[in-house]
Amino acid sequence: MRGLLKIFDKTITKASRSAVEFLKDENPNFHVHNASLRAEEDHRFVFAVFYMTPDLTIKPTPYKLVAVNRHDFSAEQINPPKESEYWIRGWK
């Protein structure tokens, strides 16, 4: 049930929309699909934002990691090291 509560949490929903809009604004040629919550921290949320490019089809769907501030919902792309827990493991 805990997972369902997160889906309907208004703060997480707003942060997710902020992450998607950030990636759309930064990369106008991307077709942004959705975002997946990767981490909740004291000061931010981290999302994997999935996208496609019009000239290239890749499987699995590529994603970028976007951090969203909990207080003002400002977003920024992050590039943590590959051993970070933010990356999706076993992605085939």
Collect all residues with Cβ–Cβ distance below 8 Å to 43 and sequence separation of at least 6.
69, 70, 71
Query: pLDDT tens digits, residue range 27-80?
Result: 999 999 899 999 999 999 999 999 998 887 778 889 999 999 999 999 999 999
Query: Does the pLDDT value for residue 1 go beyond 50?
Result: no
Cut 0.75: pTM above it: yes
Query: Does the pLDDT value for residue 2 go beyond 70?
Result: no
43 closest CA partner among 14, 73, 65: 73
